[in-house]
Amino acid sequence: MRTTDRTSRAGAAIPPPKRVVVVGAGIVGLSCAWALQERGIEVCVVERHAAGAGSSWQNAGYVSPSMCAPLPEPSVLRYGVSAVLRPSSPVSLLSKTDVRLLGFMAGMVRHCTAARWQRSMATYRELNERVFASYDRQLDGGVEASVTTSDVLTCFARPQESDGFLHELEGIAASGQPVDADLLTGTEARTVEPHLSERVRVAVRVRDQRYLTPSRYVVALARSVRDRGAKILEGHDIGRVDRRGDTVVASGAGGEVEADAAVLAAGAWISGLARPHGVRVRVYGGRGYSFTAPCDGALVRTLYFPVPRVTVAPQEDRARVSSIMEFGSPDAPPRWSRIPSIVRKVNPLMDGVDFAALADQWMGARPLSTDGLPLVGATATPGVFVAGGHGMWGVTLGPLTGLLLAELIATGRAPAPLGALDPCRRC
Ligand SMILES: Cc1cc2nc3c(=O)[nH]c(=O)nc-3n(C[C@H](O)[C@H](O)[C@H](O)COP(=O)(O)OP(=O)(O)OC[C@H]3O[C@@H](n4cnc5c(N)ncnc54)[C@H](O)[C@@H]3O)c2cc1C
């Protein structure tokens, strides 16, 4: 059931909240806080580590609505089953005996059909068309960060390897979403981005996307939220969120925070907090790794190498390299041995990047939902809302999520794209 007016799922009238507590200071939680402030609502953000400590810190930083699509689809299933069995594969399971993980994988497999992908893509299309405007709103509204417009070059060593990616773009375009793309030879691609090596024989250029340096963006967003009067309580690990009479209480080792409503935006950790509020869609960690390496002259384009599944983004005079999908607990220790395997795969495809001098090694967990759709909206508990499960696309969709959820919380009416993102949907 969807709540479309100011009633709870149980039918009780709820007054508009004056104070909201947001649990989790990643790009999604901070964007919710920022958008609630735009509507005159007081917010307090509670974060168990520091703002940006989760997957929002050093991801690839693509704001790329033309490529933003649901993860579960038939080719992922074909690729994934063989890939998890190969030790050098960029896709793996952290544990083959973790029952929760196996349950999550079984749920995701069920959604890897063409029909479900198309249905989910229709929702993504509705979201994607608003992504740039949502960023412009934050940038015009005082978030002091830079977001750069750039084409994404998707590069291949063999021309036939581009078939799968072109097929994916065709599927996105068939959903009605505009995709402005063209095919380049290796030589043409090198004139656009000189750091590509001679091994690159063909590239697909997706025009006019954006990228940012995620850690800088999150710091700027947190600063803007604080400047507008919010507290961000760092070091507060919230164990549960409950409705007690007219208030909602977020409690944990650091004490209690009371408000009129709560937004659960705890990234890959969200399920433990959200489950008691009727949220059955599983969210699990898709752990990825990144590092930076110095470049001989700045990179000028964002790059994606689909065969080794590596992305490379400019970060001043360095390249920020990201890869790996390791399904597993976000709290298990990082497996740093994955970094040299990324270098071995990307090094031959690039020139003028000093991989021997790499630094800033990082691991973060993408909050993946079983059906590939984010969870944004009301829960079964009056005044408790969820914003999470954005998987591979939380940077692209974070600011928009904040705007949509703030509209629901402030007005009691769910804007249209939230219909399919109901956190209490059957899945
Ligand atoms: C390698 C990699 C590359 C990626 N590249 C891109 C990209 O190019 N473009 C894109 O759009 N997306 C990308 N993503 C995905 C994106 O990073 C995530 O979808 C996004 O950061 C999720 O944001 P979030 O705020 O939901 O979660 P997080 O950033 O993880 O924030 C959740 C926060 O909640 C806090 N928290 C958790 N539990 C509690 C609790 N109980 N109490 C208090 N606080 C709590 C955590 O400490 C954390 O700070 C990438 C991810 C990875 C790993």
What pLDDT digit, counting tens, does each position of 287-301 carry?
Answer: 999 999 999 999 999
Ligand 1 pocket test target in 124, 218, 366, 386 with most atoms within 8 Å of CB: 366
Which numbered atom of ligand 1 lies nearest the CA of 68? 11
Q: Which two tokens stand for residue 182?
A: 């063209």
Going by pLDDT thresholds of 50, 70 and 90, the confidence category of residue 3 is very low
What percent of the chain clears pLDDT 90, i.e. is strictly above it? 85
Q: How high is the pLDDT of residue 102?
A: 85
Say yes or no: CB of residue 25 within 6 Å of ligand 1. Answer: yes
The alpha carbon dihedral of 13, 17, 23, 28 has a sign of: positive
Q: Quick one: pLDDT at residue 1? A: 34
Residue 13 confidence (pLDDT): 59
CA of 60 to the centre of ligand 1 (A): 12
Phi, psi dihedral angles at 373 (to 5 degrees): -105, 145
Residue 81 has pLDDT above 70, yes or no: no
Q: What is the maximal distance between C-alpha atoms in the chain?
A: 67
Write the residue with the smallest CA distance to atom 50 of ligand 1. Answer: 59
- Kindly give the number of the ligand 1 atom that is closest to the alpha carbon of 30: 25
Q: Is the CB of 67 under 6 A from ligand 1?
A: no
Phi-psi domain of 142 (left: phi exceeds 0; alpha: psi -120 through 50; beta: other): left
In this structure, the number of other CB atoms found within 10 A of the CB of residue 163 comes to 10
Find where tokens 């630094």 sit. Answer: 359
In the predicted structure, residue 203 carries a pLDDT above the cut 80: yes
pTM of the model: 0.95
Q: Return the ligand 1 atom nearest residue 362 CA.
A: 1
User: Do the strands 302-305 and 310-315 form a parallel or antiparallel pair, or are they unpaired?
Assistant: antiparallel
DSSP structure class, residue 334: P
